[in-house]
């Protein structure tokens, strides 16, 4: 079992939540304030560590079996994301899917770091486009 931080459609009531195959929710959490957070063409969110201007991202921490990670979660991730380690605001390390560095300059990215919450953004939060 591994701690997995989800911050998009895999969270409760999200359209991809079924991929967790019953993995238990441990808690609602926020990342440490060291990430930029993007909407990728309004299809899914992506976070990436930054040296400056970082913000906290809201998500959920699950206790995920390695088989579920291998068989359900990782194969379903878009090409723009990869598995990485992040830090929560209490110092806990978690796995998460993060933006691949080579996609950082993409015109598909909308910076939603100041919102820091995928659900709030989808519900009508404001954000700014990122210039390549």
Q: Identify which of 31, 128, 126, 124 has the alpha carbon closest to the alpha carbon of residue 84.
A: 31
Q: Identify which of 127, 110, 94 has the alpha carbon closest to the alpha carbon of residue 43.
A: 110
* Phi–psi pair at 106, nearest 5 degrees: -65, 140
Task: Please give the chain's pLDDT, 132 residues, in tens.
Answer: 899 999 999 999 999 999 999 999 999 999 999 999 999 999 999 999 999 999 999 999 999 999 999 999 999 999 999 999 999 999 999 999 999 999 998 899 999 999 999 999 999 865 544 433
Q: With a threshold of 0.75, does the pTM exceed it?
A: yes
Give me the domains of the chain, ranges plus CATH numbers. Answer: 2-118 (3.10.490.10)
Instruction: Give the position of tokens 């598909």.
Output: 108
Give all strands (DSSP E) within the chain, no chain letters. 2-6, 25-30, 35-40, 44-49, 58-64, 81-87, 93-99, 109-111, 128-129
């Amino acid at each position: 079992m591994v701690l997995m931080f989800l911050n998009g459609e895999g969270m409760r009531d999200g359209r991809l939540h079924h991929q967790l195959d019953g993995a238990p929710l441990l808690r609602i959490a926020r990342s440490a304030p060291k990430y930029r957070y993007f909407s990728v063409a309004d299809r899914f969110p992506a976070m990436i560590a930054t040296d400056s201007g970082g913000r906290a991202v809201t998500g959920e921490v699950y206790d995920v079996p390695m088989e579920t990670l291998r068989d359900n979660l990782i194969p379903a991730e878009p090409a723009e994301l990869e598995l990485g380690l992040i830090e929560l605001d209490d110092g806990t390390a978690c796995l998460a899917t993060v933006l691949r560095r080579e996609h950082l300059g993409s015109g598909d990215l909308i910076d939603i770091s100041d919102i820091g919450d995928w659900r709030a953004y989808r519900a009508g939060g404001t954000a700014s486009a990122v210039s390549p």
